[in-house]
């Protein structure tokens, strides 16, 4: 069985944080990013980023999306307006209600996102 890729995205009105973890012989971080706010990105940016990761690793990507509000999550174009994540050939998005820790700034934000990557 190939290692699985899980991407956790924490989005606020000011910043979008992303952590990608690869499972296999232990879990390891393969990507960490601090990106601009969802309101200022192109509508295809997040879907194409996830498709690119899936193509890079040649397997579908599991995504956990945590956002401050429904409007912020829909700005990423990874969920519908009803709180359900998108599912494509390349990725499957699960929408996680924010608990706050993964959205706060600093190193705790990335630590909380890594916890969201756990199965």
CATH assignment of 5-116, given 3.30.470.10, 3.40.190.10, 3.30.1490.20, 3.30.420.40?
A: 3.30.420.40
Report the pLDDT value the prediction gives residue 49, as an integer from 0 to 100.
96
Give the pLDDT mean for 9-31: 88
Separation between Cα atoms, residue 32 and residue 89, nearest integer Å: 23
Is there a contact between 3 and 22 (Cβ–Cβ < 8 Å)?
yes
Is there a contact between 92 and 62 (Cβ–Cβ < 8 Å)?
yes
pTM: 0.86
Choice between 97 and 29, residue whose per-residue pLDDT is larger: 29
pLDDT above 70 (res 119): no
Q: What is the DSSP letter of 61?
A: E
Is there a contact between 63 and 50 (Cβ–Cβ < 8 Å)?
yes
Reported as a single tens digit per residue, the pLDDT across 48-100 is 999 999 999 999 999 999 888 878 888 898 887 676 788 899 999 988 766 55
Give the chain's mean pLDDT. Answer: 84
| Per-domain residue ranges of the chain | 5-116
Report the pLDDT value the prediction gives residue 118, as an integer from 0 to 100.
75
Choice between 40 and 24, residue whose per-residue pLDDT is larger: 40
DSSP 32-49: EEEE--GGGS-TTHHHHH
The residue written with tokens 């700034």 in the block is 105
């Amino acid at each position: 069985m190939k290692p699985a890729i899980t991407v956790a995205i924490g989005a606020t009105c000011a910043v979008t944080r992303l952590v990608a973890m690869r499972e296999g012989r232990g879990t390891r971080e393969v990507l960490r990013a601090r990106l601009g706010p969802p309101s200022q990105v192109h509508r295809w940016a997040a879907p194409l980023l996830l498709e690119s990761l899936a193509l890079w690793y040649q397997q579908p990507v599991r995504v956990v999306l945590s956002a401050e509000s429904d409007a912020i999550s829909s700005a990423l174009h990874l969920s519908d307006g009803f709180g359900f994540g998108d599912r494509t050939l390349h990725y499957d998005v699960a929408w996680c209600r924010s608990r706050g820790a993964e959205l706060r700034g600093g190193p705790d934000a990335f630590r909380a996102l890594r916890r969201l990557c756990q199965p």
